[in-house]
Structure 1
């Protein structure tokens, strides 16, 4: 079976559109439509519903998608590995990094890696840990930083960094007089939070559920400077990683009671070929990590 129609089929399934799939694959839409019709004819099955501009998979299409994704991923892995056996001198690393780490932890590491390996292209995708984990599992990323406790069976991980989530407040907030902040006290305040899907928010939501509290979220934003500014002006309190707080931020941090520690790791798919470029990046990041227990 020609792999190209399966690649087109997977793209249509992910985008729910022949047009978007063609754009993603950089091919003409008629070529995509013809390939899918031929695939359906070869299999003797209807794989895609085409009605009222809505594109969806039939039950047979959904069954094929499970196998098609594995076949396409395995083919890409095989081509990559064969290319490296031929002495491929260049490569690409597609890595997902949550915004807090992308802004405050990874920049010097990424620049140092680029300096050591100038022929390797770095493609950094920023997003929430849940979104990045899904992209990793779907083969859209090669590596991703995730919260270690959420590791599914299909991924492997290597410890990267251990950081404390600290209550973040304005300098004149009453919490400044305390050494530690209980979850109950924290949830009595108006909060400035990341949006859902980010590990910052997932940890807070999990903590609220554990103590049977409903968070009072006054502001939702993924912009760390804005979180800091709102907190500085006393319009709410937040919780950020220690690395994010700088000397000139005019903010105070306190530990939760008990303290909350996050174990962050860099993950990859177990059943996928990890290229030389990705292995080099993984080794480099691990050497420069600061994981401590």
Structure 2
């Protein structure tokens, strides 16, 4: 190879050249794919040991997964579980780059056709107001009428918020 990949001063490596940085990205991708090939091969052996990495939101890790993990460990004691907590967006990235085997969140993580989503459960949002609040008398209660009041809800990027925003937007109302 004629390209220089490293910036040197004598025997010391000081950094990487632009071609070196590009090569590093390709090398990381190759190593990641090699790891994916090993994982795939492991799936088709009778070996019930290894590591299963699950990326999930804090809500799922705290409330939904403890009983599931307990049952899984009883069935597969040789499998080491790794849990990674993140936002739905972070989980999506982990799944796409091979950093997690399974992603669990309360909403669909991605529209990426290479990721398959299965519904685990459904949940619904509720509106809570004091008994004397004007919305109690609103009939019918609409998203447009709710939009006139301050709303305490999830911040952007947290599970559930995108569904709330989509619902308000579809009715021409702002959150």
- 1:112 is matched with which residue? 71
The Cα of 1:75 is off from its aligned counterpart by 1.1
**1:104/1:122 CA distance change after superposition, 3 Å:** same
**1:161/1:184 CA distance change after superposition, 3 Å:** same
Aligned length: 166
**1:105/1:74 CA distance change after superposition, 3 Å:** same
| Higher strand proportion | 1
| Cα root mean square deviation, aligned | 3.4
- 1:73 is matched with which residue? 32
1:49-68 alignment to 2 at 5 Å?
A: 58=18, 61-62=21-22, 65=25, 67-68=26-27
Equivalent position SS for 1:96: strand
- 1:133 is matched with which residue? 92
Q: Distance in 2 between matches of 1:171 and 1:205?
A: 23
- 1:200 is matched with which residue? 160
TM-score, length-scaled by structure 2: 0.71
| Higher helix proportion | 1
Unmatched 5+ stretches in structure 1: 1-41, 49-54, 216-293
More relative contact order in 1 or in 2 (CA 8 Å, sep 6+)? 1
Q: Distance in 1 between matches of 2:54 and 2:66?
A: 13
- 1:211 is matched with which residue? 171
Unmatched 5+ stretches in structure 2: 8-14
- 2:11 is matched with which residue? none
Aligned partners of 2:52 and 2:81 also within 8 Å = yes
TM-score, length-scaled by structure 1: 0.46
Is 1:187–2:147 an aligned residue pair?
yes
